[in-house]
Amino acid sequence: MGLQLGIMFSITIVLLTSLVGMSLYQLADNNSTAESIINHTVTRAITLKDAHTDFTRALLDMRGFLFYPDGSATYEQGYRNNLKKSLEAVERYNQDSTMNDSKEEGGKLKNLVEAYVAIGDKVIAAKKANDPLLTQYTTEGRNLVKQIDDQFIVVSTIQEKYLNDKGQGMISGNQGMMVKLVVGSLCILLLAVALVSWYGRNLAGRLKNVSQSLAQIGELDLTQPDLQPTRNDEIGDMGLVIIKMRHTLKEFTQRIQTSSSLLASSSQQLSATVDEQIKSVDSVAQSIQDIATGSVQNANSINDISATLEQISAGAEQVSAGAGELDYNTQTAVAEAEAGMKLLQEVVSQNETVSQAMADIDSVTASLAQGSNDIKGIVALINGIAGQTNLLALNAAIEAARAGEAGRGFAVVAEEVRKLAEQSAGATQNIEEIIEKMGNEIEHAVQSVGNASEEVKKGSETVYNTQQGFVAINEKLMSVKEGISQIAASVKEMAQGTEGMVAGVQNISAIAEETSSSAQMVAASAEEQNASMHEINSSAGALSTMAGELKQIATQFKI
């Protein structure tokens, strides 16, 4: 019985382990995808943003070089460093590109930046040499800057598309995992319920057969055929013991009936021969004394047999009570198993929710939120610089107007500076909108991670309750074991009672032999003690009556 329970629980545990393993594998795959998005796609997007930011800084340094002669060397160095960093970032982006469209657009962006490097060198050289072609170079540079900004937007759009596609793929994978978990959990639950139901019905049927056999023995009915046990377990052993007890009782009852018949026949023979037995008074008296003693012993033996039968009946009642308690505990164990299955269903439901949340994203989303805040600070700085540049251009235009004809060229330059400042302000506005969108998405991700943590906590509580349910099942199964032990003890007690019955029957047999011998002595003394024969006749009648009563007791057993 314990082996069958172990096999059922082992099958359930193996299926649950397989389901959990599949879930862990899917989670690991999703983690790998998320790590790829973070370490590759998001990193490349940040690299591209850094390249655009460095390029914008280089433009600001170029304007400073053109309009602030006092700090021209510092602006020139800043321009070259920022432009170099921007170009290196674009090259890194192109090196990490795996898709054709990103490679193509990234290559165009690199070519445009390199072209601007060449134009910038010409502008710097013309500025230092006061070359009249400076205006032409700056015009070409502005046109090229617009193309570069547009190309940055194109590449950023492609990168954002890749990020969205991979995120959607990861979401689809999670949904597929949820469906597999639900189907697998339902299959395991149905299999477990089927196994428990089958085992409960089988155990109840076998216990019912045992209970019926014990009830028939308690009613002194030994005519029922033997039902051989079909399994080698505790209940099967108990069935074999019951069969052996029935055979033993049947054999003892047959012996009692035979002995009582012989005793009755002997008493009749004794009564018939009393009239012919006249012996000396001493011999008759001694014979009568022997007969009286034998009668007392027969009465004691009959009492012993009665006590033994009472022990058998009491043992049968104990067996029946133990079987009833065992049946009740078995039903209770089945109910506890069903409750355990319900708790298991709650665990499955919680796992469906837990599968939607990944705690490992918490640290990543926090880092993204911090990066978003840093970028917002940079954008604010750029906006401030653009505002200051616009103010400087306005002041320069005012000073040029005051200078009249001599400041006309300076007014043109101031107007160009103002336009560039407006372009910078527009670009930073776009950046700020993108960063704001990313910040909202990151905030939503942080909230989702928090929800996932709560669901994990609920899942842990549910698992604990499930464990408590299976502990209760184990306790009930231990009660079943104790019931079986009680039945075994009762059967042992009944066996001891049957041994007493054997001893009593043997004693009756010995007394019957003694009575027969005494009857012969009475027959030898009958001639001498004719007056005493009536008393001997009375004693023989009493012995015959006791033999009949013993036979009547034996006939109560149905064999």
pLDDT in tens, 409-418: 767 777 787 7
Give dist(CA 220, CA 197) in Å, integer.
35
- According to DSSP, the residues that pair with 558 across neighbouring strands are 221
Percent with pLDDT over 90 in the chain = 11
Residue 369 pLDDT greater than 60, yes or no: yes
Residue 208, token pair as written in the block:
């019912």
Nearest to 412 by CA among 427, 393, 426: 393
- Whole-number Å distance between alpha carbons of 247 and 324: 24
Q: Which of 141-155, 335-349, 487-501, 543-557 has the lowest mean pLDDT?
A: 487-501
Residue 294 has pLDDT above 90, yes or no: no
Q: How would you label 494-515 residue by residue, b for 16+ Cβ within 10 Å and e otherwise?
A: beebbebbeebbebbbebbebb
Q: How far are the Cα atoms of 102, 262, 525, 528, 530 from residue 276, in angstroms, in the given order?
A: 138, 22, 9, 10, 9
Question: For 453, how many CA atoms within 13 A lie in the half-sphere containing its CB?
Answer: 10
Domains of the chain: 1-218 (1.20.120.1730), 233-559 (1.10.287)
Cβ neighbours of 135 (radius 10 Å): 15
Q: How confident is the model at residue 427 (pLDDT cuts 50, 70, 90)?
A: confident
pTM to 2 decimals? 0.33
pLDDT of 86 over the 80 cut: yes
pLDDT for 81 beyond 90 = yes
pLDDT (mean) for 474-496: 63
Q: How confident is the model at residue 531 (pLDDT cuts 50, 70, 90)?
A: confident
Residue 519, CA atoms < 13 Å, CB-side half-sphere: 25
The 3-state DSSP class for residue 535 equals helix
Residue 358 DSSP SS3: coil
How buried is residue 144: exposed, middle or buried, by Cβ count under 10 Å (0-12/13-18/19+)? middle
Which position has the higher pLDDT, 515 or 549? 549
Reported confidence tier of residue 295, pLDDT bands at 50, 70, 90: low
* Farthest-apart Cα atoms in the chain, separation: 186
Place 500 in a pLDDT band, splitting at 50, 70 and 90: low
Q: Of 109, 48, 50, 57, which is closest to residue 83 (Cα–Cα)?
A: 57
Q: Quick one: average pLDDT of 452-464?
A: 68
Average pLDDT, the chain: 74
Mean pLDDT computed over 209-217: 74
Whole-number pLDDT of residue 101? 81
pLDDT at 149: 92
Per-residue buried b or exposed e for 261-300, using 16+ beta carbons within 10 Å of the residue's own CB: eebbebbeebbebbeebbbeeebbebbbebbeebbebbee
Kindly provide the residue ranges of all beta strands, DSSP E only, lying in 66-160, ordered along the sequence: none
Percent residues over pLDDT 70 in the chain: 64
pLDDT of 491 higher than 60: no
pLDDT at 401 over 80: no
The pLDDT confidence band at residue 454, using thresholds 50, 70 and 90, is confident
Nearest by Cα to 501 from 224, 262, 315, 227: 315
Q: Which residues pair with 221 in a beta bridge?
A: 558
Query: Are 352 and 180 within 8 A, CB to CB?
Result: no
Q: What is the pLDDT of residue 151?
A: 92
- The answer on pLDDT for 348 being more than 60 is no
Rounded to an integer, what distance in angstroms lies between the CA atom of residue 224 and that of residue 558? 9
Tokens 């009570």 belong to which residue? 321
Range with top average pLDDT, 69-83, 210-224, 373-387: 69-83
Residue for token pair 């954002």: 160
Confidence of residue 70 (pLDDT cuts 50, 70, 90): confident
